[in-house]
Structure 1
Amino acid sequence: MPGRPPRRHAVTIVARNYTGQARVLARSFQEHHPDVGFSTLVIDGEERDRDLQGVGDVLLPVDIGLDPRELELMQTIYDVMELATALKPATLRMLLRGGARSAAYIDPDIRFYDAIDDVFEAAEREGIALTPHTLDPMPRDGRRLDERDIMVSGIYNLGFVCIGARALAATSWWHERLRTDAVVDLANALFTDQRWMDWAPSLFGHVILKDRGLNAAYWNVHERPIHRVDGVWHAGPDRLRFYHFSGYDPTRGWMLSKHMGDRPRTLLSAHPELHELCTAYGDELREVGHLETRTQAYGLDELPDGLRLDPVLRRLVRSTWIDAIARGDEWGGVPMPFSDPTAFRAWLSEPEIGDGPVRLSRAAHATWSVRVDLQAAFPDVLGRDAEAFSSWCQHDPATAERLRDIAQGQTPVATVEESLRRFGWSVVAYAASELGVGEAGRRVSASMRATGLPTELIATSFGSASRRKHVPRATVRRDRGFENVITCVNADQVAMLSDRLQLERIEGKHIGYWFWELAEFPEDAPGLTAVDEIWTATTFTRDAIAAVTDLPVHVAPLAIPVPDEPTSFTRRVLGMPDDRFVLLASFDYLSVPERKNPTAVIDAYVDAFGPDDGAALIVKSINGALQPDAAERVRAHARGRKDVLFVDGYLSSAQMLGMLELADCYVSLHRAEGYGLNLADAMARRTPVIATAYSGNMDFQTDETALLVPYELREVGRGADPYSPTAVWADPDVAAASAAMRRLFDDRSLQTSIAQRAIDDIRANHGLERSAATIASLLLGEETT
């Protein structure tokens, strides 16, 4: 009717588990746009989901007008994020064809603070309304996000796009690309739906929106700070219309976004008003039950018969479909997976790939096609390497199990192992890994060589996520040559490693060299059934394991080497202050930071010293880039102090030992230790140590050789996997640690005396000769002392 406002519509797309975010979005959008329609497309929804409340009108995928076969293949080839983005153009097209003058797609993690009527008007007038990720040149400050991130993900952020009816053709063009190419494949310039819209300004009528209140987010708040003016939220100079909380998790409220990596440009600790905005949004998510609903499983990760659609299968179906389209075969002969999972399993398992005497199943060949290591090992996989690869598929435990699952019961063929020497020992270890258990394996190998018994070092990387650039002094072999084996991997990995190396077939002995940090060892640890005997580095670990098994459990102590010469590194080279009393702490973010307890070290230091007292604390870590939320939480404890220095990243073994030697004090307020390599190595380099007086380190530390911190035992609690919440560990006395730090700083003679007593004890009781003698006595069946 003449005079009525143009019909407008907004839509968001979610899986069931993110309907909580959709509720917050819908409520805030409808508050400011009471005359605009709002819908939520639930991509894994069922008919019962049409009754969902608070999300506007509920749409299901069958509503958006796609051919059922096309929709089912898209549900198969895409994971949850990819599918949600791939269905945008078809959904917007459906709304525009239904009579809307303009239709906006809005990501569910957006909240509105003001109206965007002018945006709908611009889309109706121009065609496509886009919001760039940034409006100012990005700083080249080494922080995230940077220009490369934007170029990889696209110039425009498609968490919001508004399309007018005059640009209806653009939705069909966009959908044609996204039916197969909404994947994350950076090497091929694909990032879900976003990179395609970089073409839009040259192909369709458009407007680029430059109001800084539109689509403010972690990637651009450096150029549009969030603040209040007379109680109204602003983004830079403009009123905040909507904020995109991409990557914000209310349970980790100290992090602006999980997507910022290890070098975030914007920290909430430095922006209190932005922090307030995020906290309020988090409270709304809690109110609508998002923290509960987000734990639900994605409904399209499995077929009706239970087959899991992992990335290998999704990419196999996608490549088959793309090849078929290129041949003019619209559906590619792929059985519809959700409609007929039995036929789909048969299609995956048929030995159809290859022309030679050995043909591979589609599932097996797909496994090879996504793994660079397999392509290197079996380069001619359809020719001369087909038989070897087929054998590998049958004997690699994880692959064999997956292929059996797909084929519903296929049995692998056994291999025949070459004969091995009976007298001697293969030490299997993370020989090149730069982590504690890797160094322990190298030291066990050194002690074994010192016994004079035939031995070899076998490298494995199975189960280790750490960098592997350490070059061992010993020769490293790839193939095992002895019937007797010592596996220097922890109990949770030894059973799987045993399967990989077929250790159940050896006729000799299998000894597991294990570490464990708590006084309670898991009774159901899989390694307990995979070994004949267990060695530990400390009495603490021995007692924990011995309590749950009848297997022999012995202490085979690690050697603590004392260097012959001082380090050739200087403090300046290693980034350590020359003019301060340096305290050093170190830990691995992949090794349960709650156990290493770096925040207690920081708290103790900040209480002990003022910024100008002449001290500095270096918090050295690795793998912080893999745990950015945990890293930000640790940094927050420094309270902005410039004398607390955070250094994350790998150093060579020589560099790390140099830092231990050049520090004035090494501090570990751990809650539990299986051993404590850095504690031992610091003592061997005449560096005084402050440590919790609990667990494995007590085998080589006393009140005479270290400043030991008292503690109380308490339950571990939740969030410290793999440890049981009801197990106990130490809670060190932070005030006592702070006093110990100050005592060392004020009394330089104490530094000298405690360091001398420590190195004297190590030379007398913890050297290579003592370690080798103990190991020899264990292997030769002699009594140990």
Structure 2
Amino acid sequence: MSEYLLRGYARRVAKGAWWLATPWLMRERLEFLRQRAAAQARATLFTALVEAERNRLVLRERGMPVPAVAPLDLFDDAAVSEAAGLPPSGILWSAVSPQGVADRGSATRFLIDLWRKRADLRTRFPLALESGHHGGFAQWLQNEGAAELRLGDSALQLVLDALAAGVADPARQALLSNKVLWPLSPHGLTPAGMPDLFRWLMQYGGSESGLPQEALWWLFLQAAQNPARELMLAYAFTPAWQELHPDGLTVFGREAFCAWFAAEYGASGRWVDPSTWPDWERPALQIRNGYWARSTWRAAHPDALADEEHARALLAWLSSPAAGLSDAARAWCGRLDAASVARELAQPGVNMIGHFCYASGLRVSAESMVEAMGRVGVSASLRDVWTDAKDDPHHVDFRGMEYYDVTIVHTQPEPFFDEAYQRTHLFERSPRSYRIGYWYWEFDSIPDSWVGHAEKVDEVWAATEFVARGLRDRLAIPVRTLFPGVKLAPYERRSKSYFGLSKEPFTFLFTFHMMSVMERKNPLGLIRAFSTAFGADENVRLVLKTSFGERHPVQLQELRDAAAGANITVIDQVYSPDEVLSLMDACDAYVSLHRSEGLGLTMAEAMLMGKPVIATNFSGNVDFMDESNSLLVPYKLVKLGKPIPPYDAKLEWAEPSVEHAAQLMRRVYENQQWAREVGARGKASAEANLSLDAAGRRIAARLEEIKALRRAAR
């Protein structure tokens, strides 16, 4: 026996002896071995996916056809078990009886079982799983279906709730946000890619994203209902496809796209026949998409989108043989209502890239801008910048392309600005649109790194003059102050008891986001002011509403410790926008002892509600707050003194007067009629100066200036 083999044998003997001598560690060792085996199996499966994609690419490079993929029969237990590489018990549950429907999960499983077993229902209601609780399937359930299936009233309601719940949405979002799997298998929810994706998600999808198995099943069954829609969705979120076929979902480019896809992935069937597809977008948007995708159109009609006259000329040309379109596309153009389509082509619009699914002030700002523009006739094509798994699972709903000549990138320079297009799953259009960064900041000077980010845009917009001044000091490009507009979204009026609060005490509120730097929001200073103003025996309360505390456990505990012993309630929970406004409405006054704010949205919302607002007399909020409409707290400028990421130690912010804030809170409590008068003045001021209509007019005016400048520069 060689020396090498002897050493290996000795090591194994020693390890075995150690395991026998330490049996109390056996559970940990077995778990380690289990995890290692699972990781190895996962790596093996992923390698197989990569190898299959590599083989496909080699075939295409050689001009050879890609073999057709046998479709996966999701209604055959043996077939799905084989496809998943798992026993039936690993992917299927025990059948749920009508009497077993007791909660949302069991209702979902009942529906999946029903859908898989009842071919007659699939034929009668082919889109049942995506039509929600208003579709024909839901109507059938509420009429004869409930009796036929023997569903009681409570079980029926749970089933209807499951239909409306968007069961597959989190699973689809997890797939889109997987930076490794989605680029490797963008066709995975179509028949051409479903077998491989099914195996991966059934084996690892739930453990990777914490999804219940019924969410994965619902996603695949929903995809199987409408494979043409899945192909269109895949295109909308696959930048590589968009680059190859920039107008691939329009009547002008979808035939070429489908032919390419069928050859690339061995696909066949009606779902890759574009003549059977519904229009993905309105005619004017399809024409805009074709216009930017085709240089011949732009050369023939360089001012086609400038006004209605030029737009009508483009439409007439597209309807003629001179444009070189296919017979079907030319006929489509000829059937259009030229006057209305030309009018829409001439209307202003922007592409808006922003956080539409991330619960934050940035989302409220972006949504406000979109509505403000809409009120003055400026259209918006929306894309969501994905942040992480806690985003609302509606990324797929924001799938507008870069239809317009101006793109607003409404995300901070750090951390997502440089990869905003990747996180929206959008290819950067060529020719490049005029690009605007919409940035917030909380200081009068910006980080050095922002100067580099600004090189990627043509100008920057800021919500307030406080932010704009700091940007202008460092940037060579135009910086404009364009307030996004504020309005109160519809919300349900709820009592304090809904939030676990007592009805009787006069209640001050402050809401903030733990991800927005707790030191800047300064809730500890507010706790000191409240404790100075009131004793524990007084009928008054402070509510501190925050979220994402689990990401900052040390600071959250610091907040709870500071609040202990006083009439202070700390709520760490993600509320819906409706609930946040309901909480504000239920409270009596709003207080913000912030050290710096780029805008101060919650203060503006409280003013619109007519609440008396106490706030630091510094930074973005003083664009709309003064002594006539609110209660301002004096401050001293101080240096941070230490780095507080993302802020440098040398920066300055406000240190609001705790004593003065305590006096104001005391006065609001003791003279509530006077406080209501302050709130009424704030409401009138906010309605006059912060309206969406006024913001929309300012934005539209700037867009017209940009349009004129770009035409003059040609």
Q: One fold, TM greater than 0.5?
A: yes
Q: In the alignment, does 2:590 pair up with 1:666?
A: yes
TM superposition shift of 1:719 = 4.9
Q: In the alignment, does 2:386 pair up with 1:462?
A: yes
Three-state SS of the structure 2 residue aligned to 1:645 is strand
Three-state SS of the structure 1 residue aligned to 2:499 is coil
Name the CA distance, whole Å, in 2 between partners of 1:426 and 1:377. 26
Counterparts of residues 30-429 of structure 1 (less than 5 Å): 94=14, 97=17, 128-129=23-24, 158=28, 178-179=32-33, 181-182=35-36, 315=39, 319=42, 357=59, 371=181, 378-379=188-189, 415-418=244-247, 420=289, 424-429=349-354
Judge conservation of contact 1:567–1:661 (CA < 8 Å) in 2: no
TM superposition shift of 1:764 = 2.0
Name the CA distance, whole Å, in 2 between partners of 1:587 and 1:547. 29
TM superposition shift of 1:502 = 3.6
Judge conservation of contact 2:373–2:697 (CA < 8 Å) in 1: no
TM superposition shift of 1:349 = 8.8
Q: In the alignment, does 2:506 pair up with 1:586?
A: no
Judge conservation of contact 2:366–2:484 (CA < 8 Å) in 1: no
CA distances 1:548-579 after superposition (whole Å, capped 9, x unpaired)? 1111111111222268x995322222333210
Cα 1:763–1:372, aligned 2, differ >3 Å: closer, same or farther? Answer: same
Query: Which stretch shows the higher mean deviation, 371-380 or 662-671?
Result: 371-380
Name the CA distance, whole Å, in 2 between partners of 1:470 and 1:413. 21
Name the CA distance, whole Å, in 1 between partners of 2:604 and 2:660. 21
Name the CA distance, whole Å, in 1 between partners of 2:702 and 2:643. 38
Query: Which stretch shows the higher mean deviation, 421-430 or 678-687?
Result: 421-430
Name the CA distance, whole Å, in 1 between partners of 2:420 and 2:178. 21
Alignment counterpart, residue 497 of structure 1, candidates 420, 429, 452: 420
**Matching residue's letter, 1:518:** F
Alignment counterpart, residue 632 of structure 2, candidates 708, 721, 731: 708
Judge conservation of contact 2:185–2:193 (CA < 8 Å) in 1: no
Q: Give the equivalent residue in structure 1 for 2:611.
A: 687
Size of the aligned set, in residue pairs, is: 455
Query: Which stretch shows the higher mean deviation, 477-486 or 596-605?
Result: 477-486
TM superposition shift of 1:758 = 0.7
Judge conservation of contact 2:613–2:630 (CA < 8 Å) in 1: yes
Name the CA distance, whole Å, in 1 between partners of 2:468 and 2:532. 37
Judge conservation of contact 1:498–1:530 (CA < 8 Å) in 2: no
**Matching residue's letter, 2:401:** D
Q: In the alignment, does 2:367 pair up with 1:442?
A: yes
Counterparts of residues 566-581 of structure 1 (less than 5 Å): 568-581=493-506
TM superposition shift of 1:356 = 8.3
Cα 1:528–1:95, aligned 2, differ >3 Å: closer, same or farther? Answer: same
Q: In the alignment, does 2:667 pair up with 1:747?
A: no
Name the CA distance, whole Å, in 2 between partners of 1:471 and 1:463. 10
> What are the ranges of 5 or more consecutive residues in structure 2 without an aligned counterpart?
67-174, 197-229, 248-287, 292-304, 306-347, 708-714
Name the CA distance, whole Å, in 2 between partners of 1:67 and 1:415. 57
**Matching residue's letter, 2:35:** D
Judge conservation of contact 2:615–2:631 (CA < 8 Å) in 1: yes
**Matching residue's letter, 2:616:** T
TM superposition shift of 1:751 = 0.5
Name the CA distance, whole Å, in 2 between partners of 1:356 and 1:629. 53
Alignment counterpart, residue 531 of structure 2, candidates 594, 600, 606: 606
Provide the identity percentage. Answer: 24
Name the CA distance, whole Å, in 1 between partners of 2:575 and 2:395. 13
Name the CA distance, whole Å, in 1 between partners of 2:178 and 2:478. 42
**Matching residue's letter, 1:768:** L
TM superposition shift of 1:644 = 1.1
TM superposition shift of 1:319 = 3.8
CA distances 1:740-764 after superposition (whole Å, capped 9, x unpaired)? 2112111113212211211121122
CA RMSD of superposed structures (Å)? 4.4
Q: Give the equivalent residue in structure 1 for 2:401.
A: 479
Name the CA distance, whole Å, in 1 between partners of 2:404 and 2:181. 30
Alignment counterpart, residue 657 of structure 1, candidates 568, 581, 594: 581
Q: In the alignment, does 2:455 pair up with 1:533?
A: no
Cα 1:413–1:675, aligned 2, differ >3 Å: closer, same or farther? Answer: closer
Cα 1:753–1:322, aligned 2, differ >3 Å: closer, same or farther? Answer: closer
Three-state SS of the structure 1 residue aligned to 2:486 is coil
Judge conservation of contact 2:529–2:658 (CA < 8 Å) in 1: yes
CA distances 1:343-374 after superposition (whole Å, capped 9, x unpaired)? xxxx98997556983599xxxx9x97974797
Judge conservation of contact 1:518–1:544 (CA < 8 Å) in 2: yes
Name the CA distance, whole Å, in 2 between partners of 1:381 and 1:425. 35
Alignment counterpart, residue 737 of structure 1, candidates 645, 661, 673: 661
Name the CA distance, whole Å, in 1 between partners of 2:612 and 2:596. 20
Name the CA distance, whole Å, in 1 between partners of 2:33 and 2:19. 25
Name the CA distance, whole Å, in 1 between partners of 2:694 and 2:183. 41
Judge conservation of contact 1:458–1:478 (CA < 8 Å) in 2: yes
Name the CA distance, whole Å, in 2 between partners of 1:67 and 1:673. 66
TM superposition shift of 1:529 = 1.6
Cα 1:463–1:320, aligned 2, differ >3 Å: closer, same or farther? Answer: closer
Judge conservation of contact 1:603–1:734 (CA < 8 Å) in 2: yes
TM superposition shift of 1:702 = 0.6
Name the CA distance, whole Å, in 2 between partners of 1:621 and 1:772. 31
Three-state SS of the structure 2 residue aligned to 1:683 is helix
Q: TM-score, normalised by structure 1?
A: 0.51
Three-state SS of the structure 2 residue aligned to 1:723 is coil
The answer to which structure has the higher strand fraction is 1
Cα 1:384–1:635, aligned 2, differ >3 Å: closer, same or farther? Answer: closer
Three-state SS of the structure 2 residue aligned to 1:730 is strand
Q: Give the equivalent residue in structure 1 for 2:600.
A: 676
Q: In the alignment, does 2:353 pair up with 1:543?
A: no
Q: TM-score, normalised by structure 2?
A: 0.56
Three-state SS of the structure 2 residue aligned to 1:613 is coil
Name the CA distance, whole Å, in 2 between partners of 1:368 and 1:705. 48
**Matching residue's letter, 1:415:** L
Name the CA distance, whole Å, in 1 between partners of 2:677 and 2:638. 33
TM superposition shift of 1:658 = 1.7
TM superposition shift of 1:375 = 5.7
Q: Give the equivalent residue in structure 2 for 1:775.
A: 699
Three-state SS of the structure 2 residue aligned to 1:482 is coil
CA distances 1:106-146 after superposition (whole Å, capped 9, x unpaired)? xxxxxxxxxxxxxxxxxxxxxx347xxxxxxxxxxxxxxxx
Name the CA distance, whole Å, in 2 between partners of 1:591 and 1:734. 21
Cα 1:369–1:618, aligned 2, differ >3 Å: closer, same or farther? Answer: closer
Q: Give the equivalent residue in structure 2 for 1:765.
A: 689
**Matching residue's letter, 2:445:** E
Name the CA distance, whole Å, in 1 between partners of 2:455 and 2:487. 34
Cα 1:509–1:376, aligned 2, differ >3 Å: closer, same or farther? Answer: closer
Name the CA distance, whole Å, in 1 between partners of 2:179 and 2:361. 34
Q: Give the equivalent residue in structure 1 for 2:651.
A: 727
Three-state SS of the structure 2 residue aligned to 1:637 is helix
**Matching residue's letter, 1:181:** Q
> What are the ranges of 5 or more consecutive residues in structure 1 without an aligned counterpart?
1-61, 69-89, 105-127, 131-155, 159-173, 186-314, 324-331, 335-346, 401-411
Judge conservation of contact 2:365–2:484 (CA < 8 Å) in 1: yes
Q: Give the equivalent residue in structure 2 for 1:522.
A: 447
TM superposition shift of 1:647 = 1.1
Judge conservation of contact 1:716–1:725 (CA < 8 Å) in 2: yes
The answer to which structure has the higher helix fraction is 2
TM superposition shift of 1:467 = 3.4
Cα 1:751–1:466, aligned 2, differ >3 Å: closer, same or farther? Answer: farther
Name the CA distance, whole Å, in 2 between partners of 1:65 and 1:667. 71
Q: Give the equivalent residue in structure 2 for 1:256.
A: none
CA distances 1:152-206 after superposition (whole Å, capped 9, x unpaired)? xxxx985xxxxxxxxxxxxxxx57x7456348x7xxxxxxxxxxxxxxxxxxxxx
Name the CA distance, whole Å, in 2 between partners of 1:529 and 1:728. 26
Alignment counterpart, residue 486 of structure 2, candidates 555, 560, 576: 560
